[in-house]
Amino acid sequence: MLLPKIITKVQDKFPSVTLDTTQFAGEDIIHIQGSYNLDVLKLFRDNGFNFLADITAIDNLTLGGFERFAVVYHLLSHETAERVTIKAYVPEDQPELPSAESLWKTADWQEREIYDLFGISFKGHPNLIRIMNPDDFQGHPLRKDYPRLGRKERDDFPVVKRGINKEAAQ
């Protein structure tokens, strides 16, 4: 069992960074400050959690939390088959945190996806452009204040007008 040791190590080493540690349905969740995510992730990586399974984000607009956005890292240890969730909180007015691309290459595309759908930017990312939506897309669809229904983008599409020459057709 690697996890309890590492969690106490994180708490000892970064007491002000670790906001909380919780458990739900047998999963350990560590809540940290967003700007220090690389320190914590590196500590986990060097202590056996070698695989970054998933990165995603949550918009805590109505859920509540330490900050508006949480970037969620799911780590896995191939040695002991343990999993841990790390939530890095990012404020609304400056949604930015360091990129994990230097630790795991898989972060590249997934951080682009978060940038595209949530509008959270990653410092040090080599190619931070939209991945799912077109480059000229406005807004970030997975934010809670982005409506599910609406006509905004559709109305923004350029309309191709083809003049039909009725007389010539006859």
Which residue's CB is nearer to another protein, number 51 or number 66? 51
| Pairwise CA distance, residues 21 & 139, whole Å | 33
Residue closer to another protein by CB (options 13, 78) is: 78
Q: Which of residues 23-82 bind another protein (CB under 8 A)?
A: 24-25, 27, 29, 50-54, 56, 58-59, 62-63, 72, 74, 76, 78, 81
Phi, psi dihedral angles at 98 (to 5 degrees): -65, 150
Contact range with another protein by CB under 8 A, out of 9-17, 32-40, 140-148, 152-160: 140-148
Shortest reach from residue 170's CB to another protein, in Å: 36
Selection from 93, 69, 83, 73 nearest residue 144 by Cα: 69
Q: Residue 117 and residue 100: Cα distance in Å, rounded? A: 18
Cα 8 → chain centroid = 25
Strands (E), the chain: 18-24, 27-33, 51-59, 69-76, 83-90, 96-98, 121-123
Residue 102 is a binding residue for another protein (CB under 8 A)? no
**Residues at the site binding another protein, with contacts judged by CB under 8 A:** 24-25, 27, 29, 50-54, 56, 58-59, 62-63, 72, 74, 76, 78, 81, 83, 85, 104-106, 108-110, 113, 117, 130-134, 141-142, 146, 148
